[in-house]
Chains A and B, each alone.
Chain A
């Protein structure tokens, strides 16, 4: 009796699965970066309202996780589009191409990474070199010799006499986060390069150079506060001496609680990120699977919506959500490229 029940339910299950697998997917599937997620979802929603297509399903998997899912291959069960808060890596592109996936790259805009503290505290003015010296695991010996020592700095004043005499305490995202990658690349490496002998290492020993520039200290001065940026904002309010690292849209929405620090004399504002004068900003991308463009209904229209002026323009709805638009000419160029759906070749060649 029990066996019979078990056998019937198993049979029913297999039957159900085979039917499901045959049904064609009639919605767009998007994966990828949690930074791009708010923007993709906004477009997805507007797109489905303006057209007859189903609302695309958008998953927030992180840039790296998204690439893995995206590059798995071509077919129903794989994603059509992935969002990335950095450019695709050569290794990822090779994985994609190896699985028969041709990739179309679309740069959609910029995002600024801010170093912020509580509104009631005094605003910070730092350079990238200060950031590097305060947060790197190993720093150049202050006596001038070209050697590295474990980071000895306890207060901001130790790093740079012009800075306040408060303990170095920075809340930021964990290593799995794209924001952390971009912060390491733009802010840390930017400061790291100011030491000529380290910059010279880049040519000889790239991995050692990266280790010096990108490794954050682990002695408690840099605190991994999780992926949730709202949490970091609340922790900053509770602790006026701490600084936090997060995306610009969270600064924009919480302007009554936190203020952005000036980096190289530039405050993180919409305009300073858009004209690239604010040093810690990064490009945002979406990658589209070329083979799916004609198979899954709506992909071309979705891309058209994404690259329309009302979406990514200077006054488009994505700008309202905190994305920093590309310059006008670049937008036009990307939009025409997208219409042609040219697959991405070798990264180095570009």
Chain B
């Protein structure tokens, strides 16, 4: 080094400087590239789901002038019993025949009747039940169209011909006629948010699955959070460090990595076969998911407790606080944001789980919206799975729409985790 002049040193540094800068740039570029890749994947996923699923939020409907003819209905007064018996489909058929008087012949008529959803009579029943004075009068009512009609109408905007599929030329003609006269429109699909599952895509909704998910998560949260936090506090604040606690720690970390189907099998053996809890119930689902999320919550709670500086404990002890007072008055409030974040992430994980629920009968066709934790129910990801597996074309967009609902619930949960942390976090 000594025989180098200052300029020589400078030259050497400058020579290397370019390559150092290049390397720095490359490193930064790689970081940006990997983020760009991630963002691209998310954009592709979201745009695919949204482009496929947005159609499900509108539903093709047909406006018909119906006459509540007591004779056709076969009733003379409006009460529960006569409503159950009344021939509402007869009224709708008559309305369709009046709209297309030229249609005769059995098979043509059958085709005509299939324009509206098979759920239409129930729409009419609900209307009459709400307004009994309608009996004997006429009114214009929008009925959901059959799913084949819906698929056809929605495909019209992509190509001129549209996807005819099971729709005959004659039926397509009627549809175009109704479209031109404004009696066939795409309207906001409220059914999707108010109904449970259905075999008819136009009557299928996400409500039952959403409520099922809610009840399941409630049970999971109510059990896993207190148990998880209690376990974490004991292990962190009270337990002596010996071979046993090491063993417990290894087991907890192990449990976090166990495939979730195993918990499902356990749930089937213990909760259903031994305790004889009902199948398909959110209670059992919640219990199984509790087992699954417990390790996550315990581990994150322990980390949160560890992050509380020992000086706080020592100060409290020094002031004469008991161990329990130290934990509940000082350590726990400070560790809470971390614990809550862990709990919410665990919940989000539980929300997306299907495999363990398969074994306990929650992969099921549920029409009635569950009203409690022991009613049969299913959950959002299971609903997505079931719809993705259905042959009806109109379920494709409903699958994507259900994914959108699930994603928005997840985003809501994760956003609240970030907010909670921001709000409660304290720095030392």
Q: Which residues of A contact B (CB under 8 A)?
A: 1-2, 5-6, 9, 16-17, 20-21, 23, 25, 27, 29, 31, 34, 37-38, 40-42, 44-46, 48-49, 52, 54-55, 57-61, 76-77, 227-230, 247, 249-250, 252-256, 315, 317, 321-322
* Least CB separation from A2: chain B residue: B230
Residues on A with beta carbons closer than 8 Å to the beta carbon of B364: 57-60
> How far, in angstroms, from A29 to B360 measured CA to CA in the complex?
13
Where chain B touches its partner, the secondary structure class is loop
Q: Is the C-beta of B169 less than 8 angstroms from some C-beta in chain A?
A: no
B368 and A77 contacting across the interface, CB-CB below 8 Å: no
B interface residues, tally (CB under 8 Å): 46
Q: Is the C-beta of B189 less than 8 angstroms from some C-beta in chain A?
A: no
B386 and A255 contacting across the interface, CB-CB below 8 Å: no
Residues on A with beta carbons closer than 8 Å to the beta carbon of B230: 2, 5-6
> How far, in angstroms, from A190 to B76 measured CA to CA in the complex?
61
Most chain B CB within a 10 A radius of its CB, from A1, A34, A57, A60: A57
A-B contacts, 7 of them at CB < 8 A, read A6-B230, A55-B367, A58-B364, A227-B389, A228-B388, A230-B389, A253-B165
* Least CB separation from B272: chain A residue: A77
Task: Encode B256-296 as 1/0 by CB contact (under 8 A) with A.
Answer: 00000000000000001101111111010000000000000
> How far, in angstroms, from A31 to B391 measured CA to CA in the complex?
19
Residues on A with beta carbons closer than 8 Å to the beta carbon of B391: 38, 229-230, 247, 249-250, 252-253, 321-322
> Distance in Å from the Cβ of A30 to the closest Cβ of chain B?
8
Contacts A6-B227, A29-B280 known; 9 new A-B pairs at CB < 8 A: A2-B233, A17-B276, A25-B278, A45-B200, A58-B364, A58-B365, A229-B389, A256-B163, A256-B164
A20 and B368 contacting across the interface, CB-CB below 8 Å: no
Q: Is the C-beta of B110 less than 8 angstroms from some C-beta in chain A?
A: yes
> Distance in Å from the Cβ of B120 to the closest Cβ of chain A?
12
Most chain B CB within a 10 A radius of its CB, from A23, A46, A48, A256: A256
A54 and B279 contacting across the interface, CB-CB below 8 Å: no
Q: Is the C-beta of B376 less than 8 angstroms from some C-beta in chain A?
A: yes
Contact of A230 among B164, B279, B396 (CB under 8 A): B396
Q: Which residues of B contact A (CB under 8 A)?
A: 84, 110, 118, 122, 163-166, 197-200, 223, 226-227, 230, 233-234, 272-273, 275-281, 283, 324, 361, 363-368, 374, 376, 386, 388-393, 396
> How far, in angstroms, from A250 to B223 measured CA to CA in the complex?
43
B389 and A45 contacting across the interface, CB-CB below 8 Å: no
| Shortest 7 CB-CB contacts between residues of A and residues of B | A58-B365, A55-B367, A42-B199, A249-B391, A41-B365, A59-B364, A57-B376
B367 and A48 contacting across the interface, CB-CB below 8 Å: yes
* Least CB separation from B358: chain A residue: A61
> Distance in Å from the Cβ of A177 to the closest Cβ of chain B?
12
Contact of A255 among B118, B165, B277, B280 (CB under 8 A): B165
* Least CB separation from A17: chain B residue: B275
Contact of B368 among A34, A37, A55 (CB under 8 A): A55
> Distance in Å from the Cβ of B281 to the closest Cβ of chain A?
8
Residues on B with beta carbons closer than 8 Å to the beta carbon of A27: 376
Contact of A38 among B199, B273, B366 (CB under 8 A): B199
> How far, in angstroms, from A49 to B392 measured CA to CA in the complex?
21
Residues on A with beta carbons closer than 8 Å to the beta carbon of B163: 256
> How far, in angstroms, from A9 to B389 measured CA to CA in the complex?
40
> Distance in Å from the Cβ of B335 to the closest Cβ of chain A?
16
B363 and A59 contacting across the interface, CB-CB below 8 Å: yes
* Least CB separation from B238: chain A residue: A2
> How far, in angstroms, from A49 to B124 measured CA to CA in the complex?
13
B389 and A34 contacting across the interface, CB-CB below 8 Å: yes
Contact of B366 among A20, A46, A57 (CB under 8 A): A57
B363 and A315 contacting across the interface, CB-CB below 8 Å: no
> Distance in Å from the Cβ of A223 to the closest Cβ of chain B?
19
> How far, in angstroms, from A19 to B396 measured CA to CA in the complex?
41
B118 and A253 contacting across the interface, CB-CB below 8 Å: no
> How far, in angstroms, from A212 to B230 measured CA to CA in the complex?
60
> Distance in Å from the Cβ of A20 to the closest Cβ of chain B?
5
B166 and A255 contacting across the interface, CB-CB below 8 Å: yes
* Least CB separation from B107: chain A residue: A315
> Distance in Å from the Cβ of A238 to the closest Cβ of chain B?
15
B272 and A38 contacting across the interface, CB-CB below 8 Å: no
> How far, in angstroms, from A41 to B200 measured CA to CA in the complex?
10
A20 and B283 contacting across the interface, CB-CB below 8 Å: yes
Most chain B CB within a 10 A radius of its CB, from A16, A48, A59, A256: A59
> How far, in angstroms, from A46 to B122 measured CA to CA in the complex?
11
> How far, in angstroms, from A20 to B287 measured CA to CA in the complex?
14
Residues on B with beta carbons closer than 8 Å to the beta carbon of A250: 391
> How far, in angstroms, from A27 to B166 measured CA to CA in the complex?
34
* Least CB separation from B271: chain A residue: A17
A1 and B324 contacting across the interface, CB-CB below 8 Å: yes
> How far, in angstroms, from A230 to B387 measured CA to CA in the complex?
10
> How far, in angstroms, from A46 to B376 measured CA to CA in the complex?
18
A45 and B199 contacting across the interface, CB-CB below 8 Å: yes
> Distance in Å from the Cβ of A55 to the closest Cβ of chain B?
4
**Given contacts A42-B199, A252-B166, A54 and B374 within 8 Å (CB-CB):** no
> Distance in Å from the Cβ of A302 to the closest Cβ of chain B?
14
Residues on B with beta carbons closer than 8 Å to the beta carbon of A44: 365, 367
* Least CB separation from A29: chain B residue: B279
> Distance in Å from the Cβ of B208 to the closest Cβ of chain A?
10
B276 and A41 contacting across the interface, CB-CB below 8 Å: no
> How far, in angstroms, from A252 to B234 measured CA to CA in the complex?
61
* Least CB separation from B147: chain A residue: A253
Residues on B with beta carbons closer than 8 Å to the beta carbon of A58: 364-365
Most chain A CB within a 10 A radius of its CB, from B122, B227, B376, B386: B376
Contact of B118 among A23, A61, A228, A317 (CB under 8 A): A317
B393 and A2 contacting across the interface, CB-CB below 8 Å: no
A59 and B390 contacting across the interface, CB-CB below 8 Å: no
**Given contacts A2-B234, A20-B278, A25-B278, A228 and B389 within 8 Å (CB-CB):** yes
Contact of B277 among A20, A42, A60 (CB under 8 A): A20
> Distance in Å from the Cβ of B398 to the closest Cβ of chain A?
12
Residues on A with beta carbons closer than 8 Å to the beta carbon of B223: 9
A60 and B363 contacting across the interface, CB-CB below 8 Å: yes
Residues on B with beta carbons closer than 8 Å to the beta carbon of A2: 230, 233-234
* Least CB separation from A58: chain B residue: B365
Residues on B with beta carbons closer than 8 Å to the beta carbon of A317: 118
Contact of B226 among A9, A41, A322 (CB under 8 A): A9
> Distance in Å from the Cβ of A252 to the closest Cβ of chain B?
7
> Distance in Å from the Cβ of B300 to the closest Cβ of chain A?
19
Most chain A CB within a 10 A radius of its CB, from B84, B233, B364, B396: B364
Residues on B with beta carbons closer than 8 Å to the beta carbon of A38: 199, 390-391
